[in-house]
Structures are given as structure tokens and as C-alpha cells.
């Protein structure tokens, strides 16, 4: 097994544990057991738990990007591509293991004490905002629509995690459709 394979194995195990139970409640022994590697191997790949958290966040960012890209790629019109973001959210919220946004969760646990984690979370959120802004530009809508649509997606994630249903994705999609239609009618 290569170092890359071992690293991925550790990150995937840590991701499942951190996302399912919270970062603070998961010790490195639990990561060791779930990953099936020694603590020495974990610390060779990730010299600290913070570095492992950053590895997990990078992994989550890649998953998020692939999911959104896939949903948007399957949509037809520019309007449909914007709405596909909410369709992706609905599918994600229906996952049995859905516990909200892993970035928001990490920020809530570590954002005040780990500048590196706070920055990784911010970078992810800025990346998503930039992505929505590009979709808005492709749709020929005013730039102000991008932040409005992104905040709907963020709110839907938090609401779904707290309420425990995927309904917020549909509500956010309906609100997004209203905003898109109003913005493109004025444009």
C-alpha cells in the first residue's frame, strides 16, 4: 500500500468518526482502530490532530465539489444549473449519515481555537460563493443574486441538520427559483 493509499485510508476513517461523533470526542486511538493502522503511521502522515482535521476538510471539499459539479453538469439551462445546487442538497440531506455541513461543524468546534481550521472553512465557503457567482454570471443575472442563492444553500444545510429532514432543500429551491426569476426578469 502506498503512502497516498494509507493517507486516504486514515482521512476516510477520521472523516466518518469526526462527522458522525464530533472532532472533540474522537481520540487518535479511535482513528487508529477505524483506519486499521498504527498511531505511528497516523502521526507520520499527520503530525497533529489539527493536521488530520485539515486533511479531512480537504477531503470533504473535494467530495462537495464533485457532488455539486455533477448535479450542475446534469442540468440543462442556466436556470436549471442554479437550481441543481438545491437538488444536490436534497439528495445529500437524505443520506442516512447526514449531520449538517462538516465545515460548519468543524468551525463550531475549532474555529475559535484553530486559525488553520477557521481559514480552511472560510476558504471552502468562499469557494462555494465563487462557484455560485459563476453560475449566476452564466445565467446573465445580476451579481447580487449570487450571495442570495449561496446564503439560501447555507441556511438549508443548517436547518436540515437541526430539524433532521430534507425539506429545507425544497424550501430553499423554491425561494431560489423566485429570486432567479425576479433577477432575470429585471436583467
For residues 57 and 36, state if they share a domain: no
DSSP string, 97-130: T--S-HHHHHHHHHTTT-HHHHHHHHHHHHHHHH
For residues 55 and 42, state if they share a domain: no
pLDDT of residue 3: 80
For residues 119 and 42, state if they share a domain: no
For residues 63 and 30, state if they share a domain: no
For residues 31 and 63, state if they share a domain: no
Please count the other Cβ atoms lying within 10 Å of the Cβ belonging to residue 38: 10
Cα of first residue to Cα of last residue in the chain, in angstroms, is: 55
For residues 38 and 78, state if they share a domain: no
Helices 28-35 & 49-74 angle (0-180, nearest 10): 50
For residues 40 and 102, state if they share a domain: no
What domain range is 25 assigned to?
A: 1-47
For residues 72 and 6, state if they share a domain: no
Residues 11, 102: Cα–Cα separation, whole Å: 14
For residues 157 and 169, state if they share a domain: yes
DSSP label at residue 147: H
For residues 121 and 38, state if they share a domain: no
CATH number at residue 157: 1.10.357.10
For residues 42 and 54, state if they share a domain: no
DSSP label at residue 18: H
Residues 171, 177: Cα–Cα separation, whole Å: 10
Q: Residue 158 has which C-alpha cell? A: 443548517
Residues 176, 181: Cα–Cα separation, whole Å: 8
Q: Write out pLDDT tens, residues 118-154.
A: 999 999 999 999 999 999 999 999 999 999 999 999 9
Q: Write out pLDDT tens, residues 52-84.
A: 999 999 999 999 999 999 999 999 999 999 999
187, pLDDT greater than 90: no
Number of independent structural domains in the chain: 2
For residues 106 and 131, state if they share a domain: yes
- Show which of 47, 62, 85 is a domain's final residue: 47
CATH number at residue 28: 1.10.10.60
Q: Write out pLDDT tens, residues 92-119.
A: 999 999 999 999 999 999 999 999 999 9
186, pLDDT greater than 90: no
Amino acid at each position: 500500500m502506498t503512502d497516498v493509499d494509507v493517507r486516504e485510508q486514515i482521512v476516510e476513517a477520521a472523516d466518518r468518526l469526526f462527522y458522525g461523533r464530533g472532532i472533540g470526542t474522537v481520540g487518535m486511538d479511535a482513528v487508529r482502530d477505524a483506519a486499521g493502522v498504527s498511531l505511528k503511521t497516523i502521526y507520520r502522515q499527520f503530525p497533529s490532530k489539527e493536521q488530520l482535521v485539515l486533511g479531512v476538510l480537504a477531503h470533504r471539499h473535494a467530495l462537495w465539489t464533485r457532488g455539486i459539479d455533477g448535479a450542475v453538469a446534469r442540468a440543462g439551462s442556466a436556470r436549471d444549473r442554479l437550481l441543481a445546487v438545491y437538488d444536490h442538497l436534497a439528495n445529500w440531506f437524505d443520506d442516512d449519515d447526514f449531520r449538517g455541513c462538516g465545515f460548519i461543524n468543524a468551525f463550531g468546534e475549532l474555529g475559535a481555537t484553530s486559525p488553520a481550521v477557521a481559514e480552511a472553512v472560510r476558504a471552502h465557503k468562499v469557494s462555494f460563493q465563487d462557484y455560485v457567482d459563476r453560475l449566476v454570471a452564466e445565467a446573465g443575472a445580476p451579481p447580487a443574486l449570487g450571495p442570495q442563492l449561496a446564503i439560501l444553500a447555507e441556511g438549508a444545510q443548517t436547518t436540515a441538520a437541526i430539524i433532521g429532514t430534507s425539506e429545507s432543500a425544497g424550501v430553499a429551491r423554491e425561494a431560489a427559483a423566485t429570486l432567479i426569476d425576479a433577477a432575470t426578469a429585471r436583467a
